[in-house]
Amino acid sequence: MAEQSQADRKSQLIAELERSRSEFAHGVRGLRQDMDVGAHLKHAFVRQKAVWLGGAAIMGWLLAKLPSRKKKVKVAPIRSAKVTEAERGGILLTVLNLLVPLLKPAVMAFATKKVQEFASRNGHGAKDQRFARR
């Protein structure tokens, strides 16, 4: 008897799971149709072709009637012989960009040497010969 009710309960759960999966799939299908903007626009254009073409013609006419952009002519001010602060900063950054790759090996060697000295002072010397200074 208990096995019969357990089997019935199992079949009810399976049927309920199948129903909920079916409802979920139906909901996803509906959501996918609602989110298909291209299909909605295509359908609206087919239904109301004159309205869409008229609207496009009016928008084109309005865009054509917008005033054209006026070009602004800028006259460069007469500069003195002094280099401005911004140019100095640009020159400094350019020089630093050139020097950093050249100085990187020296800085790394210096940092490695200091770390090894610190480690050997604290009793954590290089136990592996691969890390020993040559």
Q: Where are the domains of the chain?
A: 2-65, 85-131
> 53 and 45 in contact (C-beta within 8 Å)?
no
51-63: pLDDT as tens digits: 999 999 999 999 9
> 116 and 126 in contact (C-beta within 8 Å)?
yes
15-51: pLDDT as tens digits: 999 999 999 999 999 988 888 888 988 999 999 999 9
Q: Which of 51-65, 79-93, 103-117 has the lowest mean pLDDT?
A: 79-93
Spatial distance between the Cα atoms of 96 and 24, rounded to a whole number of angstroms: 61
For all residues of the chain together, what is the average pLDDT? 83
pLDDT: which is higher, 82 or 29: 29
For the entire predicted model, the pTM comes to 0.34
pLDDT: which is higher, 83 or 94: 94
| Highest mean pLDDT out of 28-32, 83-87, 89-93, 123-127 | 28-32
Token code pair at residue 23: 């409802």
pLDDT given for residue 57 in this prediction: 95
